[in-house]
Structures are given as structure tokens and as C-alpha cells.
Amino acid sequence: MNTVSESIPALLKFFKLTRILNDEPEKCRLTLLGTLPGSWADKTTILNSDERLQAIVRLEKTAFVTGCAEELFHPDDAVALISGTRLLGSTDIYSWLSGWMSPTVSMQKQHGDVKINIVCPATEVHVKKYSKQLSILVQETPALYQHIVEPFISRFPAARTQWVTEILEGRAEQDKILFASEEVIILPDMKWDLHTIGSLYLVAIVRDPRLRSLRDLRGEHVQLLKNIRDEAYKVTGDRWAIGKGGLRLFIHYQPSYYRFHVHIVNGNYDSGVGMIVGQAHLLEDVISLLEINSSIFEVVTLTYGLGEQHGLYGSMKAAQALV
């Protein structure tokens, strides 16, 4: 087992991370950053080490928890109860692991009790993204897209999507890829624990860098979108026996990163805020709209929520008086 944490008394709130980029991992102190909507599984914490390094650590309970009372999973104590972990995967700054709550069970049970998501080193942009925040609904007209949003996307730092580049260019996560073609790859999303079929979560990432978001889609991309849909069902059907109608395929706008991708999720899974109206656009609906009007996403006004920490929040909020 690739162990990156050790049992530590709950009151100390220390978390030993030996694979994170840190010279003195035993000095990492966990402090509460905020709570995202939902259960304790959405608890977000920030890890600081002598102000030289920070990481965001998120815990998600899996379906394999046994022998532990529910109160043991209180968010304030969950990290300290983790006795061992196994690395599931990593990219440039993102890592995700399985965690076990009991050392006596760790070697006997194939899957962990929790999934641990780590962003390290985390920038202030990451901290803002995962912090609890208020949001407003904005209406993005084609004019506002051209004057505010498109310039923002164009300035989006390449470093923020380096992990995508590493995957697409064959330097990371190649053993996780479920489907690959000249147009797209499909692989598990880091949100998924790789075991619980009920929360299956994959992502299809398009190779063409010119496709950044929903706004860039035109009629010529309909066949690409249909190919993604068909391959998603083929992959999940062959591996997990998920049939027609068993998947929810959607596109975020605004997305968290500007390299066009489609979320592929078990149709029975509710991932909360990521599926709400105003952010998630069903792939089938997008295909239908493009078949009706090949330039629909160039001319349509899109309404969506923006958190107060988002880079577009200030300028889009101010622009609403002009819509």
C-alpha cells in the first residue's frame, strides 16, 4: 500500500502527506476554510506549511464504509481518523487517493472508506474556487461575451490547464484512459473514487484547443458531440453495463477550465451544484439546438450563476445594469 498519511489524534488536526511537494510534511497544519453545500463530504480544508506551501484537501465518503459509526465522520474529525491511503492518480497539481478509517481493515478491504482530493500546490485562485461563496445570476448577451468573457478566456493562464495538456500529450494518466481517438479522450474524472458505480463520473476532453467552451460550438461540431455520446455509452455499457438512458451527459457554462469537455455521469447520481440549471447544459439538448441553428451559441443570451470569487464576477455584475 502506498501510504501517505498516518494515524494522528483528532484534536491535533495534523495530516502527514509524504508525496505532496513539501520538504517537511509533518509540519502541515489543517485549518478550516469553508463548507460547500451538501453533507460533510463537501467539507473543504486548507493546508498550510510554514506559509511556504498550501493545498486544498477535500474528503468524500465512499459506499464502502463499514464498522464505523456515522458520527465518526464528522467533518472536524474525519481527516485525523484516516489511518492509511492509496494513491489513485495524479496530474501536475491534482492528486486523489483512497483512505481507510481503520488500520486493521486497511489491508483486508480493497476499496477505501473515503476518497481524498488534493490540490497542491494550490494558488489563491484555487482557494477562492473551493471556498463557500455567494453567487448571482447573470445574463451574458453575445455583446457581453465579446467584450468581457472572451477576453477573460483568452487571458486564462496556461498553467491552470497544464494538467489537461499533460494528459492529452501522453505524459500523465495514460493508464486511466478508457477511450482515445484523434478528436477526444474519455477517462475517469478526479471526482470519482473509481469503484462506486452509482457515482460513476467520467469526462470527455476534446483535443482541439480552439474549442474552449459552449460558446465555440457550431453546427460543424454536431458529429463530434454525437461521437462523444456514442463512445460514452459504449465505454460504460461494456465496462459497467449501463444502458441507454443510464447516463447524464452535460456541459458546464461557465466551465472550471477552458478546454472543451463533456461530463459523463451515472444518471442516478446527484453531484449537487455542478448539475443545477444555469450551469449544466445537457449534451442532447446542445446537439438539438445546433441542428436547428448552427450558430445558436454565437447569438443566444446565456443565463448562469457566478460566485463572488469568480474572475468574471465583478465585471459581469456591473454589466447587468446594461443588459
Is residue 258 a contact partner of residue 153, using CB atoms and an 8 Å limit?
yes
Task: Please report how the helices 222-240 and 283-292 are oriented relative to each other, as an axis angle in degrees rounded to 10.
Answer: 160
Is residue 81 a contact partner of residue 101, using CB atoms and an 8 Å limit?
yes
* Nine cell digits for residue 4: 501517505
User: CA of 320: how far to CAs of 132, 139, 315, in Å?
Assistant: 23, 7, 9
Active site residue 221: no
Estimate to the nearest angstrom the gap between the alpha carbon of 185 and the chain centroid. 16
Q: Of residues 261, 263, 281, 310, which has the active-site annotation?
A: 261
Cis check for the bond before 254: say yes or no (omega within 30 of 0): yes
Is residue 1 a contact partner of residue 107, using CB atoms and an 8 Å limit?
yes
The single residue listed with the C-alpha cell 497544519 is 29
Which residue blocks in the chain are alpha helix, DSSP H? 78-81, 103-106, 124-130, 142-144, 150-154, 162-168, 222-240, 283-292, 296-299, 313-319
* Nine cell digits for residue 138: 447573470
The 10 Å Cβ neighbour count of residue 218 is: 14
Cis check for the bond before 121: say yes or no (omega within 30 of 0): yes
As a whole number of angstroms, the distance between CA 298 and CA 285 comes to 16
Which residues are marked as active site? 261
